[in-house]
Chains A and B, each alone.
Chain A
């Protein structure tokens, strides 16, 4: 897929030779050779001498008082080494730990349990099976308490108060609002057309292929702690371990080896990690704890659970005047949302979308319920999927109300390219965009006009077919540091490049790949900037002893931050290389011209020194007055977020007999500015769309009225396979970020952010002539069939 340049004049990138494989080359992923050979090294592959195993005892109840814990039978099982309870941790002041968002969370329950599958005791044994068997033998006596599942009942006086530990005797966590309420209300009062939708972004779970786990290894002799951790943010976790457990930070080494998918699930610190650390500290041997699949689904960071109402005010021609949003956020038992400190609802306020209107007001209330804690950013930049879903749903409902084509309505309201940087009514400054360019390309790729004609004919025959559009804008790549921090640590990121004497390089990063292909893309950035072939650049991440400090990988921030840092560090190296080249060529620095891979003397292209020759000289023939070596480090604090965007179009056919929705065609046109590796971008889009498909049609972590999890296994929480996944047609436009060193924007999350609305819009479009305006996700065949039955269409 070739990117169309839609905004020339922004950051241009010159393409290097295939040998160098800088930006824009479809280089095969370097990491894949080990993954495809089964030679990856995940946390569960770490096996240390004398290692023992932990297993968690969990609560069967969503809300119950713990009356007693009897571990005698469990202790008697041969091979059991220790059983840790909340009371034991309380003695070390570790029964509670801070969450990433101004709340605290029980490591092991004391007093009462607040959600099903909550951690109650940690059993350590000589092997995994003994630990699991012993966990079965731990007898816990509970007294069941009334359960609060419905977030709308959280502030109902009849509901139980869940958090007895808090001073505030209420299930209400926060109220947050942003925007001009008066101006918005006035716009609504004056509007010719008002449109409203209530949409639930249901509780779902990233369900990474690899569950969470760790190996905690305390060495009594050196007093050093090595923690092998499924972590998307190893440095931040090291600092948090130091602060929470009171361990000296120089004695903590967090190693995040290969990670089998994170999607936000591996950002928080989980009780299992803390228990393994405590157990290793107590027993003096390495302790491994690996979650089961059900434990992962039931107890670790969920995503979404936003109950949203959006209203749009417009004139009768469809020009949007204002947006009003009211949202209820279900945070479960503890507010363990992983998002920047200043933003209790993350970046949800990008909910004004890709459209140009002056007024908006958005308010969010967070509440506690008897559900697992979390609220992590599942493949999105902190609540952006919720926001994009809401505005794209709302625009479609407005189009229905206006009886206007949804593509036309979008076109009419898009922020125009010349208006960038664009200040949104809720306080964001979009860096660059050409929304109509992406829409036009997507409409053309999908054959929109013909599809509408076909739909008309099919409706006459009573057949159901729908076309759904989503023209989303994402806000990714946090910092800037003045606005963004996680638990106080500013959201810059880093890169360190060392050029070896033979001209090869190692690049170490503050980020951490979980499948994004960093080992390839960062190498390509170095190749682009220094002309060293990408194959000669090793990228290493995840070891806090060696990598420069960084905030890790989530929120599509790696390319906008560490990618930028890589370019900046490379440019420092190029500056020094120029000095060395000038010395070697006996020319003045000003007379040297750079082309990828070498400096040559102006007017004498034959008089040149390659980067490899320069690197060798940096160690063997050091110019007088210059430090030896050729390396650089950069901590990059981006001046703004980057705002990738795109238009996705889903085409569906609905089987009236079964309610099954078949995605016949799906076109995804993305714009992430200048592309580092088009193949990796395509791969990211494919993966994210497949996750979006699952969210739209298959997945929900549901709870019954007693607080039992109904999505706690892969029998109930469905993951799409190749059978369910349609073919994805991808395309690119290119509107570089004006402030990023090489004009790139994050992209990994766009497909997850943009696609749910496209899917839902297409199903609603198929049924809109029957009076259907909205269907909540997941749109299962059962749900569709019931609608069809109600409309008398099932035959």
Chain B
């Protein structure tokens, strides 16, 4: 199941400062709830893991992250990630592009993620995946801002799985109440359309 998630957020720091974090998968991983980089394969490839718990289902993805494009001048990055659940509950792949733009008083981060999920998570449907992503993204932005302000605190913090019950509950709540963010699933929530 493919879902496209577009997100934009602003921070007060300069583009260069933001780029220093965004262009480093190890630092980005620290901001992703439940994620960690376990090994650097080469200067573009990393091995990592992410644990996502939605309702009764915990998926423990292990896989590879690759930086396929890094444009220092334009401040653009494209990352491909692919992982499989360690207990065989499914797989996921993601193509994420991040772009920075100077704005008044800081920097705007624009990201587009094309997420493709197979397995138990996918069965929960686009609305749940999108909502889970929304919540994860909110946490990501908070962590990202924290790291901009005090990078030392972040690196000390070990990767924790995302709060399971809480995540499922807020995803459920969110899918029942209309959100006004920019996220949109490419697999529409219309059951009649594949």
Contact = CB atoms under 8 A, between A and B. Distances in A.
Give the bracket for the number of chain B residues in contact with chain A: 20 to 34
Nearest to A703: B194
A526 B173 CA distance: 56
Interface string B86-129: 11111100000000000000000000000011111011110000
Interface in A52-73: 60-62
B117 A708 contact: yes
Contact of B1 (A138, A139, A140, A710): A710
Contact of B116 (A142, A706, A715, A717): A706
Nearest to B86: A139
Interface stretch (A422-430, A470-478, A778-786): A778-786
Contacts of A778: 191-192
Nearest to A702: B194
Given A61-B90, A708-B119, A718 B192 contact: no
A401 B191 CA distance: 31
Contact of B123 (A116, A142, A777): A116
A142 B88 contact: yes
Nearest to B120: A60
A712 interface: yes
A140 B88 contact: yes
Contacts of A707: 118
B190 A708 contact: no
B182 interface: no
B88 A782 contact: no
Given A136-B87, A144-B91, A710-B1, A702 B191 contact: yes
A753 B39 CA distance: 59
A716 B119 contact: no
B72 interface: no
Contacts of B190: 780, 782-783
Interface in A694-709: 698-700, 702-709
A613 B67 CA distance: 93
Interface in A129-182: 136-142, 144
Interface string A2-16: 000000000000000
A718 B189 CA distance: 13
Given A61-B118, A294-B123, A711 B191 contact: yes
Contacts of B124: 713
| Residue among B1, B91, B188, B191 with most chain A CB within 10 A | B191
A296 B79 CA distance: 38
A139 to B, nearest CB: 5
Given A60-B118, A60-B119, A137-B87, A704 B192 contact: no
25 contacts: A60-B85, A60-B88, A60-B89, A138-B87, A139-B86, A140-B88, A144-B91, A294-B123, A700-B192, A702-B194, A703-B194, A704-B122, A706-B122, A708-B118, A708-B119, A709-B123, A710-B125, A710-B194, A713-B123, A713-B125, A777-B192, A780-B190, A780-B193, A782-B192, A783-B192
Interface of A: 60-62, 116, 136-142, 144, 294, 298, 698-700, 702-713, 715-718, 777-780, 782-783
Given A706-B122, A710-B125, A780-B192, 8 more contacts: A60-B89, A705-B2, A706-B116, A707-B118, A716-B191, A717-B191, A780-B191, A782-B193
